[in-house]
Amino acid sequence: MRTDTSADELQALMRGVVRRDRAAFATLYDRTAPQLFGIALRILRQREEAEDVLQEAFVAVWDRAASFDPERGSVMTWLVTVLRYRAIDRRRRRAHLEDRLGSEEDLRALTAAATDEADRGAGLAALQKCLGELEERPRSAVLLAYAYGYTHEELAQQLATPIGTVKSWVRRSLERLKRCLDG
Amino acid sequence: MNYRDPKLRDLLAGEYAMGLLPPRARARFERLMAGDAELQRRVADWQERLTPIDRTAASVSPPRRVWRAIEQGTLQRSFPVPPESSGWLQSLAFWRGFAGAAAALAAALAIYIALGPGPARTPTVLAVLADSAGTPAFIAMRTERAEEVSVVPVRTQTLQAQKSFELWAIAGGPPKPLGLVSATPDRPLLVPASAVVTAGTVLAVSLEPEGGSPTGLPTGPVLFQGKVLSE
């Protein structure tokens, strides 16, 4: 996702990984690990766990490279997916809810970043615009769930709203985002 | 739920991509998705729509030790690994060879466990779930990703239509649901090791309505069970 690494370059590296080219694998890691580590840190908010998840994700990338389908999406999205579900799972396994919830400040920073007018690439600009059309609290629910891995229960607690309401916020927001982005 | 309703399919795909589906709904959805290219496409589309949010996370350089661990973890298998197949499947073939011979299995298991986890990435058998006659039916193994345990039948088990096998962990309190486990050996159920790995925990498989127990507790007979032996 760094602007200096093009999608084409990542595709070429990924083809190398499928051929078991270790140099390509090392370069793929160098290009993408900082962004992926940042994503894992945001979900887990604990360095050691984020390191574990990054490690697991790249071992899985090596093992399952052949299952990457360029028709389905970009290399970076695939890498994020491999990492994100692991990070979310790890977060959910923590025993104490208070270890998992982020702060109000985190939310404000995220909302600012995600609806910032500054152009950070076509994809983000479009999503920013569509997120901006949502009401504030449903938007927070979507961002907290996606960026921090909050569950419905945690969203309900953080936003002081009944869980049923939170669920329907997210569903309605997804429908609206889809219409806005695809329309 | 009517999984053919396009609107519901898309909503579930979106919630799945968000990471919002609770564990059992997620396991169900993943099973559904495995044989459904259209659903896979919907999930991929959602991932593409939402991933720009990931770009709002600040990049942070990971310490070098992470790469060293990745190198170590992958160098040992610098050959193509087809999906769904890795080291432990080979040992599964080993176990299948013993299926039906409970005594032999127990003996082999004792040796296996005595040898301990061994070098990195050797799968470790945690439990053998047997039927009331003592015939082994499922095994639980620590996978190469050590924080996961894989539960899989030693051979295809008979399962009536509109029924599911559900796995439970019993450790003193009420049984804890761990997910639906396939009747065929090709789809291992992966459960977090933290839910399973305590010596003395009993793993049990009950017969439930399709999709799992509606109550969160076993509603059908426990068909197979086994004790977690050791780490």
Candidates B105, B203, B189, B205; CA nearest to B152 is B189
Q: pLDDT at position B1, please?
A: 62
**A136-180 residue pLDDT tens:** 999 999 999 999 999 999 999 989 999 999 999 999 999 999 999
Res. A119: pLDDT tops 80: no
> What is the Cα–Cα distance from B56 to A43, expressed in whole angstroms?
12
Q: pLDDT at position B162, please?
A: 85
Which pLDDT band, with edges at 50, 70 and 90, does B84 fall under? Answer: very low
Contacts of A21 (CB under 8 A, 6+ apart): none
pLDDT higher for A87 or B229?
A87
ipTM of the complex model = 0.87
Say if A10 is an interface residue toward chain B (CB within 8 Å).
no
List for chain A the helix, strand, coil content (%; round to 5).
75, 0, 25
- For the entire predicted model, the pTM comes to 0.60
Nearest CA to CA, how far is B105 from chain A (Å)? Answer: 31
Say if A97 is an interface residue toward chain B (CB within 8 Å).
no
Say if A23 is an interface residue toward chain B (CB within 8 Å).
no
> What is the Cα–Cα distance from A117 to A132, expressed in whole angstroms?
10
User: Tokens in use for B118?
Assistant: 């061994």
CA A134 to chain centre: 19
Share of chain A above pLDDT 70, in %: 82
Q: Which residues pair with A29 in a beta bridge?
A: none
Q: Please tell me the least confidently modeled range out of A45-59, A75-89, A131-145, B101-115.
A: B101-115
Say if A22 is an interface residue toward chain B (CB within 8 Å).
yes
Tell which of A146, A153, A155 to mutate to test the B interface (max B CBs under 10 Å).
A146
Q: What are phi and psi of B117, to 5 degrees?
A: -60, -25
Q: pLDDT at position A112, please?
A: 66
Res. B210: pLDDT tops 90: no
Say if B6 is an interface residue toward chain A (CB within 8 Å).
no
- Nearest chain B residue to A51 by CA distance is B66
pLDDT higher for B87 or A41?
A41
Contacts of B162 (CB under 8 A, 6+ apart): B209, B210
> What is the Cα–Cα distance from B127 to B125, expressed in whole angstroms?
6
Chain B residues closer than 8 Å to A34 by CB: 59-62
- The interface residues of chain B toward chain A in range 52-91, judged by CB-CB distance below 8 A, are 52-63, 65-67, 69-70, 73-75, 77-83, 86
The SS3 of residue B166 is strand
Mean pLDDT of chain B: 78
> What is the Cα–Cα distance from A50 to B52, expressed in whole angstroms?
20
